[in-house]
Amino acid sequence: MQIVYLIIVALVLVLVVVNMFKKKDNLFFQIDAALVMITLLLRLLLIK
């Protein structure tokens, strides 16, 4: 069950990264996406 959770987190992380690079003109959107990326990356690495 944990593998399914990690796959979902990885998929969401990839979608956030792709979306962040599509909206290059909006700095605040990129900052929000970076904050979300940090939390997802820590969850993916199983660091609490």
In the predicted structure, residue 35 carries a pLDDT above the cut 90? yes
Burial class (CB in 10 A: 0-12, 13-18, 19+), 12: middle
Can you tell me the mean pLDDT for 23-39? 88
Instruction: Output the pLDDT for position 21.
Output: 86
The span from the first CA to the last CA of the chain, in angstroms, equals 18
Instruction: Output the pLDDT for position 12.
Output: 95
Structural domain for 15, as ranges: 2-44
Instruction: Output the pLDDT for position 48.
Output: 66
pLDDT digits (tens, 9 = 90+) for 5-29: 999 999 999 999 999 888 778 888 8
Number of domains in the chain: 1
